[in-house]
Chain A
Amino acid sequence: MSSVIALFKIVPDDTLIRITQTGLDLNVPYKISTYDKNAIEEAVRMKEKYSLKAMGITAGVTDRKSIREALAMGLDEVVAIEMREMDIQTTAENIAEQVKGLSPKLIIGGETTTDSSGGVFIPYLASLLNYPIITYVKSLTLIEDKVRAERNLTSFTQTVESELPAIVSVVGEINTPRIPGVKQILESQKKPVKTINSTAIPKVKITAITPYTIQRKKVVIEGKMDEAVDKLLQYLKGEGVL
């Protein structure tokens, strides 16, 4: 049976990360990166529509709860590559290796992740696999042995076609990820998870992570709008911006 693969990354929940006195507090629960959930949803829809097997591959932190969620959403199986340190190159190399054994029809990833927000990972992987690539996809259909996709390129849209196997990255608007029910969550426990350990050493090293804050004046103006605007105008003239 041919397959579709969803790629997803497990990241610290960006909505819970806080900037504290001592730096960035990353000691927060994990989650599946936002747009990677759209990738999983799209793969599951492909599975339902074209009777494919839906596989998932994740690399990095292999948080069990997040992997279970991906399975509960409808993936049949997950390959989890544990990597302590990672950069784009080593991650792509590790994932490419796993893909080769699976020979999928289609690979789907998210446009960017919430931790690193790069947007270059899927293209990198495309080159390693020598697959056609379609990035920023907002709708996707399979027509016989071809994929047709609509790309959101911000100021314009493009409809493109390519042969399979192919790799695509999807944007958030492509679908609304489903929330699995109790039955799906229970079933997910029986689904296979294959764990692999990678000891690849990244060539790009992170030497520091510092909070990104700019000190602002934080003046709050309350009261009647008319007076508030007058006050604001005075401030802005004082700043020399009006």
Chain B
Amino acid sequence: MSSTVVIYSEDVDYIKTGIASTKGKTIVISPREVRLGDENHVINEIDEQLIAEYIARLKPDLVLTGSSKRDKTVAGLTAGLLRVPIIPDVIELSENKAKRVVYSGMAIAELEFSYPIVITLVKKNTDIRENPDCKIIKADLSGNSKVKVVEEKHKEGGSIDLSSAQIIVSVGRGVGSKENVKYAEELANALGGAVGGSRPVTAELGWLPEDRQIGLSGTKVKPKLYIALGISGQPQHLAGIKDSKIIVAVNKDKNAPIVENADYTIIGDVIEFCKVFAQKVKGI
């Protein structure tokens, strides 16, 4: 039986993850030419509803998408149009089984499914190269867009990709104020790492841009060194850092859950730690 596999994402790393997760012929749909898969259909705009309609018209047996917010919207719409099951945020996929994180990061569910299906994948590092024989097709997203974009505001300074950072200095509410974030930044600079944060610090308090959020509803990271500064270690935060090689925590509370989930915890004040640590690292 020949099957049609469609892979869609606005982010090429997800497309590569998709290719690494499947065998056989694939149609890749992307907003930029990526030369991956057997065919690469290049779309001219990201209109979630029109993309879903386009994918559904290909009558796929398997649709793999990324897990960015817009990717997931496309995935849900596509599954609804096809009236097939959908499994989001899959961390492991094999034949008719999938694994995903549930209960706010506290558990892994194993699922069994049948085809056709739509699956959104969690990003993995892969070693997928361009396919020189890939057939490039300009995709015409015809149809009436139901949702009109009036305005788009992009944040200054561009975004950084925490998912591939090797060292991450991450700040939580315990850092105390927006001004104090600079101590973490100085430490990150000294270590050659990137700065991330917990949800309160990013999405709620605005001490860091929102794309720095690490955790269940933010980026999942896998650095060799993760330093959690004033982060209590709630399951939703831990869900994003479990693949780190070494976790260091600094917390004034010896009973904070992060202590049980870190390799090394210094009990003390985060600002003092940042100053002393940065000084010593510079001196190495």
| Chain A contacts for B235, CB-based, 8 A | 14
Asked whether, in the complex, the Cβ of A204 is within 8 Å of the Cβ of B147, the reply is no
Would you call B137 an interface residue if the criterion is a C-beta within 8 Å of the partner chain's C-beta atoms? no
Would you call B176 an interface residue if the criterion is a C-beta within 8 Å of the partner chain's C-beta atoms? no
| Chain A contacts for B139, CB-based, 8 A | none
Would you call A207 an interface residue if the criterion is a C-beta within 8 Å of the partner chain's C-beta atoms? yes
Asked whether, in the complex, the Cβ of A241 is within 8 Å of the Cβ of B246, the reply is yes
Bound form: Cα–Cα A241–B165 in Å: 13
Would you call B216 an interface residue if the criterion is a C-beta within 8 Å of the partner chain's C-beta atoms? yes
Asked whether, in the complex, the Cβ of B225 is within 8 Å of the Cβ of A225, the reply is no
Asked whether, in the complex, the Cβ of B48 is within 8 Å of the Cβ of A133, the reply is yes
Known A205-B112, A220-B254, A225-B276; judge A123-B102 contact (CB<8 A). no
Interface residues of B (CB under 8 A from A): 48-49, 52, 68-70, 72-81, 83-89, 97, 101-114, 120, 146-155, 159, 167, 191, 203-204, 209-211, 213, 216-217, 224-225, 235, 239, 242, 245-248, 254, 259-269, 272-273, 276-277, 280-281
Bound form: Cα–Cα A111–B199 in Å: 15
Known A156-B155, A203-B113; judge A127-B104 contact (CB<8 A). no
Q: B277 is contacted by which of A12, A115, A203, A229 (Cβ under 8 Å)? A: A229
Bound form: Cα–Cα A157–B159 in Å: 13
Nearest Cβ in chain A — how far from B123, in angstroms?
14
Tell me whether chain A's interface is mostly helix, strand or loop, or mixed. Answer: mixed
| Chain B contacts for A157, CB-based, 8 A | 152-153
Interface centre among B69, B76, B280 (most CB of A within 10 A): B76
List 24 A–B pairs whose Cβ atoms lie within 8 Å, in order of A's numbering: A19-B106, A114-B104, A117-B217, A118-B88, A121-B76, A124-B80, A126-B77, A135-B48, A135-B72, A153-B70, A155-B159, A162-B146, A173-B204, A203-B113, A203-B114, A205-B111, A209-B109, A219-B264, A222-B266, A229-B277, A230-B280, A233-B281, A235-B263, A242-B191
Asked whether, in the complex, the Cβ of B263 is within 8 Å of the Cβ of A218, the reply is yes
Would you call A87 an interface residue if the criterion is a C-beta within 8 Å of the partner chain's C-beta atoms? yes
Nearest Cβ in chain A — how far from B249, in angstroms?
9
Would you call A17 an interface residue if the criterion is a C-beta within 8 Å of the partner chain's C-beta atoms? yes
Would you call A92 an interface residue if the criterion is a C-beta within 8 Å of the partner chain's C-beta atoms? yes
| Chain A contacts for B276, CB-based, 8 A | 225-226, 229
Asked whether, in the complex, the Cβ of A220 is within 8 Å of the Cβ of B267, the reply is yes
Bound form: Cα–Cα A218–B233 in Å: 13
Asked whether, in the complex, the Cβ of A159 is within 8 Å of the Cβ of B76, the reply is no
- Given contacts A162-B148, A236-B264, could you give 18 more A-B pairs where the C-beta distance is less than 8 Å? A14-B235, A88-B85, A89-B83, A89-B84, A117-B216, A120-B75, A123-B80, A132-B147, A154-B68, A160-B149, A162-B147, A171-B203, A206-B109, A208-B110, A212-B105, A212-B108, A219-B263, A229-B266
Asked whether, in the complex, the Cβ of B149 is within 8 Å of the Cβ of A158, the reply is yes
Nearest Cβ in chain B — how far from A26, in angstroms?
8
Give per-residue flags for A97-141: 1 if the beta carbon is below 8 A from chain B beta carbons, else 0. Answer: 000000000000001101111111111111110001111100000
Asked whether, in the complex, the Cβ of B103 is within 8 Å of the Cβ of A17, the reply is yes
The total number of A-B Cβ pairs within 8 Å is 254
Interface size of A by CB at 8 A reads: 79
Asked whether, in the complex, the Cβ of B225 is within 8 Å of the Cβ of A241, the reply is yes
Nearest Cβ in chain A — how far from B47, in angstroms?
10
Nearest Cβ in chain B — how far from A216, in angstroms?
5
Asked whether, in the complex, the Cβ of A209 is within 8 Å of the Cβ of B147, the reply is no
Would you call A24 an interface residue if the criterion is a C-beta within 8 Å of the partner chain's C-beta atoms? yes
Asked whether, in the complex, the Cβ of B109 is within 8 Å of the Cβ of A218, the reply is no
Asked whether, in the complex, the Cβ of B210 is within 8 Å of the Cβ of A24, the reply is no
Nearest Cβ in chain A — how far from B273, in angstroms?
6
Asked whether, in the complex, the Cβ of A120 is within 8 Å of the Cβ of B150, the reply is no
- The chain A residue with its CB closest to the CB of B223 is A241
- The chain A residue with its CB closest to the CB of B97 is A207
Asked whether, in the complex, the Cβ of A216 is within 8 Å of the Cβ of B262, the reply is yes
| Chain A contacts for B88, CB-based, 8 A | 88, 118-120
| Chain A contacts for B85, CB-based, 8 A | 87-89, 202-204
Q: B267 is contacted by which of A24, A120, A162, A221 (Cβ under 8 Å)? A: A221
